[in-house]
Amino acid sequence: MTLFDLGVEDVLLFRGNELLKNGYYYVLVNGDVVGATVRPKEIVEDVRSFRQHGCVYKFVSAFLHEPHRCVYFSTDAGRVCKPYVLIANGQPTVQQEHLDEPARGERTFEDFFSQSFIEYLHVNERNTVQIAVREKDITKKATHLEIDPLTVLGFSAGFIRYPHYHHNH
């Protein structure tokens, strides 16, 4: 399955004025314009769904930027992506019984990704989803849950001795 199978049209088939007046969004892969589409939201949703089900590499990111009228896909190495628990029907997909399975050898960490329990999100994608910090914070609009409330501080905060301590107090 390629982006062209999902409704992206090759950018070389257009003249500039056609793209501007017909509601097209540019489609970029790692910064290169590869095509255009009139279905930007659907394509982003499709790619994310494929990623959640293990059909697309877990570090591929898909991001719709309305002001630029662009859909950005990133596949290049070195981007910081953070894992989040997926929420389905108002409940986290990872339950206690799932957490006990790796100790019994019934599930690996990678299985949590390929079986739609956990998803990596790039920083640009995090701006387009609803993330609950704690399970009690889950709302109807919530799509993801922090793995642990302390991870909201991010990777770098793990190197700070007391990230919650403010020396002025």
Residues 76-126 pLDDT 10s: 988 888 999 999 999 999 988 888 898 899 988 888 888 889 999 998 998
One-letter amino acid at 159 equals F
Tokens of 131: 């993330």
pTM for the model: 0.80
Helix (H, G, I), strand (E, B) or coil at 161: coil
List, edge to edge, every strand of the sheet that includes 32-37.
Answer: 9-10, 32-37, 25-29, 70-74, 61-65
Ordered by where they begin, the domains of the chain are 1-79 (3.90.1070.20), 80-169 (no CATH)
Residues 6+ apart with CB under 8 A from 134: 145, 146, 149
Q: What share of the chain is helix, strand, coil (3-state, %, to 5)?
A: 35, 25, 40
137-to-82, 117, 128 alpha-carbon distances in Å: 19, 18, 18
Tell me: pLDDT of 30 over 70: yes
Mean pLDDT, residues 5-33 taken together: 88
